[in-house]
Chains A and B, each alone.
Chain A
Amino acid sequence: MEVAIEKLNRLGLNRDDYKGAHTTLCAGCGHNSITNHIVKALYDSAIEPHLLAKMSGIGCSSKAAAYFVEHAHGFNGAHGRMPSLATGAKLANRDLVVFGVSGDGDTASIGLGQYCHMIRRNLDMTYVIENNGVYGLTKGQSSATADLGSRPKRGPANRYEQIDISALAIELGASFVARSFSGDGKQLVPLLQAALAHRGTAVIDVISPCVTFNDHEGSTKSYAYVKDHDAPVNTPDYIAPQGEITVDYEPGTVQDVELHDSSHILLRKIGPEHDARDRMAAMRLLFEARQSGEIVTGLLYVSPEADDLCTREGLPTRPLAQLPIEELRPSREQWDALMAGLA
């Protein structure tokens, strides 16, 4: 029986309770690995399934929202429009844990405008981009995150500059920006947990190789290329609220960031010195990595103090969707005064 108890999280749910429908993505797809990491993160963080709102747009990545936490409401909306749908959902019910899964086409092309404005407003949600540099469902066109010179499966090399969605997020004032790799669960799961704890838009740009259309020689988003060029800047450990910090570390080797809910993310430094609270440093890191052809991963920037959208709007703690009509109508006296003023 002890084994069974071990498998239950704080809510008394086991990991299977966080699973969803069977995936219809290709065998070996990076997105399926990410789904597994999401399941683990939601389970470890003991997110209440009924309070989870799974949001997605359109594309292979956006299908994935159906593949975790079956007992949560989900909304597979329209291509590039997930940020606005998520904004409305969170405004209506701020108790919801809004969790979005998007792709590089969904985010960096058709939905770039909504992506920018979601970040600008610091909507409290986790926004995972399953970034493979290619349109899968329409069979292999390059996306806007494909690197200049990267070769698609068919046709000439990509002639255009890539849009760096992590750098763009930092530029726009994002309060939590991380990059990771679908094959690195050890890094991604704590990043997801920290993103869930963060109050504000938490962008996680996850390089996720497309085994069918973008895993060949000459592609800079292939499994082999990413594995070769992955340059982690830190390794995160997530410590739940009231959790005890048991990780041993040498002084000066770990950055400890306290998140809004008093959980912590410990960033063990590897590679170049990087302060994840320093926005300029994060930009420099990304630009330098791009120059050297490396894919820098880890928590790039975090600002736990930034106010989220609902705070900026001054919303009550009770969800707007649950306010009774009596609290929403003007009083009879207010009304009469208003009408008298129109005469």
Chain B
Amino acid sequence: MTGDVLNDFCVQAATVNGSGSQSSNLVITKALFHMGIPVAAKNVFPSNIEGEPTWYDIRVTPQGYQARKRTVDILIAMNPATWERDAANVRSGGAVIHEAALPRFSAADRDDVSWYPVPFARLAREKLEAKPDLRKYLQNMIYVGVLAELIGLDPAAVEQGVRDQFRTKPKAADLNLAAVQIGVDYTRENLVKTDPFRVAPMDGTRGTVLLDGNRAAALGSLMAGCTVLAWYPITPSSSLCEAFIDYAERSRVDVATGERRFAAIQAEDELAAIGIVLGAEWAGARAMTATSGPGISLMAELTGLGYYAEIPAVIFDIQRAGPSTGLPTRTMQGDLGFVHTLSHGDTRHPVLLPGTVIEVYEDAQRAFDVADRLQTPVFVLSDLDLGMNLWRTEPLPYTESAIDRGKVLDAKALEQVTDWARYRDVDGDGIPYRTLPGTANPRAAYFTRGSGHDEHALYTEDPDVYQANMDRLRRKIEGARTLLPAPLVEEAGTRVAICAYGSTHHAVVEARHQLADRGVETDYLRIRGLPLHPGVAEFIARHDRVYVTEQNRDGQMEALLRQELPGELADRLRSIRHFNGVPIDAEAISDPVLAGELAQREPADHQGVTSRRGPVG
């Protein structure tokens, strides 16, 4: 039985981290991409340098779905520690490529999967002319050849994938190609294909690139004119900062003088990282930091200073599973509520919620404009899945448009103003005018403080002045509702809808197709920012049931919606929550929605199928 399932399956490589398997997996991913087959890759890795289990899921679908798939069709089992469980997870009718020397166990007696034992270690030892320490890495490249031969990867595409991966090291590329060939040859000579999975070239990747969200954020920051980066290394945000430094080294260094038109400071902690950002923004530079939950906790203090003293800042939160250290290498949408009102006292910060790589790029640039316009810290909420995995996306467009530096008075503008006060609402939008240190006008100076202040930035504890200022700050942030992107709406007039935000988007796309196939048509609302756009309530008002889907335990967005919406609309919300640390898949949404809708059709029977507040799925 061969050739039944074309371009629609999921390969899982189960390996030991630190063994070079990442290169092998990227070669497979890129080879599929070069064949024009839509590919989605999910790296489920440990918080460890070497020796712990790691999984890499490579999914191909003709529809181009990019969410994780729950089932594994082809397993590449290279890790003795997990192989029993990994093999048990393979779906019936699937295939297992495994190190022949792995110990036998009961699940291996399954007769509903195809077994492909390959003596990887022996092949590497006998056939590869490389030093023993290199062999460990090359051994994993052999499985690329085995898989390529079994599913029919185009050899030219594989070679291109290898050359992509080792672009700067042609010798390494040759060595890896030799390893791939060993896998191909072994398969041809020793294995008989009995599984149904194969690939054929298609035209599904034309005009797209493979890119992770963190690099898109770095490129957006570069395009926005960010000149100061301050950061403290933390998974999964470090690669954003490293990418910014990499791109800035390439485009911001003067060839003649060596002068660098950016500063990237690896700070002593996240307290200092946000401090450097606020200091730089106070003095007029565009500055950003990127972190994850634990860093956000440390930034709480100075984010409040930024809010109260009205200093722009851009903070990328690449969310991981908390609380505390949590699961550092797993994904979550768990910081939403915390970030939106981070710091003590009454605060509220604009939050951008990109759902795709291109939105990360656009929102990165938008964040700087919004921060400058509102003179306040702005958060961009991404997550490990969106930030670190490779996504198929259209190329990021070059930005020609001007940036918005907001209400800044320079020395000349100050001459036109008779009575400037730093914190006075002149335009009725709550946004005052600011000056920058170094402005050559004696009237430019003011004393910035995180303590109580009046319009002139002078210290005060006056109750009326304090309250009026806090009211103005509230009005100012209210303006963000229409300054941030409107929700993305897909509406065909049905009464049932799914609401999501961020990277959950990709599972929703697929879930809606699954639901439609089973007779449940849904509309879709994707929230793009906080505070909520008026379009959110309007959409909910047009629907009877809205399934708010998110990747956290407590339904943080649902709680925010309930807080803001009138009770009559809040009653229409249902909550779907996925929070095991691996990216959400389509069934995690379509199953509970289907159950809820079936229950709706039989009202007497709906108790306990979907609880309105409790976690589902």
User: In the bound complex, how far is the Cα of B437 from the Cα of A53, in angstroms?
Assistant: 7
Q: Do A320 and B272 contact each other (CB < 8 Å), given the known contacts A73-B437, A330-B247?
A: no
Q: Pick out which of these stretches binds chain B: A92-100, A238-246, A257-265, A285-293.
A: A92-100
B210 at the interface (CB under 8 A from A): yes
Of B323-331, B398-406, B492-500, B508-516, the one with at least 4 CB within 8 A of chain A: B398-406
Asked if A321 and B279 sit within 8 Å, CB to CB, the answer is: no
Q: A76-B447, A114-B272, A339-B395 are in contact. Are A329 and B230 (CB under 8 A)?
A: no
Q: How far is the CA of A4 from the CA of B402 in the complex (A)?
A: 50
Asked if residues A92 and B211 are in contact (CB atoms below 8 Å), the reply is: no
Do B305 and A77 touch across chains, with their CB atoms under 8 A apart? yes
Q: Which residues of chain A are within 8 angstroms of B272 by Cβ–Cβ distance?
A: 81, 83-84, 87, 113-114, 117
- Of A161-169, A199-207, A270-278, A309-317, the one with at least 4 CB within 8 A of chain B: A309-317
Contact between B254 and A85, CB atoms less than 8 A apart: no
Tell whether A329 pairs with B399 under 8 Å between CB atoms, given A88-B279, A315-B259, A315-B260.
yes
> Which residues of chain B have C-beta atoms less than 8 A from A215's C-beta?
none
Q: For A316, give its contact among B210, B261, B444, B459 (CB under 8 Å).
A: B261
Would you give the 0/1 interface string for A218-244, flagging 1 where the beta carbon is closer than 8 Å to chain B? 000000000000000000000000000
The residue among A84, A86, A96, A316 with the most chain B CB atoms within 10 A of its own CB is A84
| Interface residues in A, total, Cβ within 8 A | 61
Known: A85-B278, A331-B251. Is A314-B260 also a contact (CB below 8 A)? yes
Whether the Cβ atoms of A93 and B223 lie closer than 8 Å is: no
Question: Considering residues A65, A75, A96, A338, which has the most beta carbons from chain B within 10 angstroms of its beta carbon?
Answer: A75
Residue A74 is within 8 A (CB to CB) of chain B in the complex: yes
**Does B284 belong to the interface (CB within 8 Å)?**
yes
- Output the least CB separation between A101 and chain B (Å): 13
User: Which of A21, A53, A328, A338 is the one whose CB lies under 8 Å from B283?
Assistant: A53
* B residues 436-490 in Cβ contact with A at 8 Å: 436-442, 444-451, 458-459
Cβ-neighbour of B438 out of A21, A54, A121, A319 (below 8 A): A319
B233, CB-defined interface residue at 8 Å: no
How close is B4's CB to chain A, nearest CB, in angstroms?
A: 31
Flag whether A250 is at the interface (Cβ < 8 A): no
Within the assembled complex, what's the spacing in Å between the Cα atoms of A241 and B263?
A: 30
How far, in whole Å, are A323 and B225 apart by their CA atoms in the complex? Answer: 9
User: Within 8 Å CB of A78, what residues of B?
Assistant: 275, 301-302, 305, 450
Q: Are A76 and B451 in contact (CB under 8 A)?
A: yes
A residues in contact with B285, CB < 8 Å: 88, 91-93, 319-321
CB distance from A93 to the nearest CB of B (A): 5
Q: Cβ of A320 and Cβ of B445 under 8 Å apart?
A: no
In the bound complex, residues from chain B placing their C-beta under 8 Å from that of A159 are none
Would B275 and A88 count as touching, CB distance under 8 A? yes
What 0/1 pattern do residues 15 to 50 of A give for CB contact below 8 A with B?
Answer: 000000100000000000000000000000000011
A77 to B281, CA, bound (A): 13
Asked if B271 is an interface residue, CB under 8 A from chain A, the answer is yes
Assess whether A160 is interfacial by the CB under 8 Å rule. Answer: no
User: A78-B302, A329-B399 in contact; A93/B283 too (CB < 8 A)?
Assistant: yes
Instruction: State whether the Cβ of A8 lies closer than 8 Å to any Cβ in chain B.
Output: no
User: Are A89 and B279 in contact, with the CB atoms below 8 A?
Assistant: yes
B268 touches A117 (CB 8 A): yes
Residues in B whose Cβ lies below 8 Å from that of A65? 447
Contact call A66/B447, Cβ cutoff below 8 A: yes
Given contacts A114-B272, A313-B263, 10 further A-B contacts (CB under 8 A): A72-B445, A76-B451, A77-B278, A84-B275, A87-B265, A88-B281, A89-B280, A96-B283, A328-B261, A329-B222
Interface pairs (25), CB distance under 8 Å:
A72-B445, A73-B438, A75-B447, A84-B275, A87-B276, A90-B283, A91-B228, A92-B284, A93-B285, A116-B268, A314-B259, A315-B259, A316-B259, A316-B260, A316-B261, A320-B227, A320-B280, A322-B284, A323-B261, A328-B225, A329-B222, A329-B223, A331-B251, A338-B247, A343-B210
Report which A residues bind B (CB closer than 8 A): 21, 49-51, 53-54, 65-66, 70-78, 81, 83-93, 95-96, 113-114, 116-117, 121, 310, 313-317, 319-323, 325, 327-332, 334-336, 338-339, 342-343
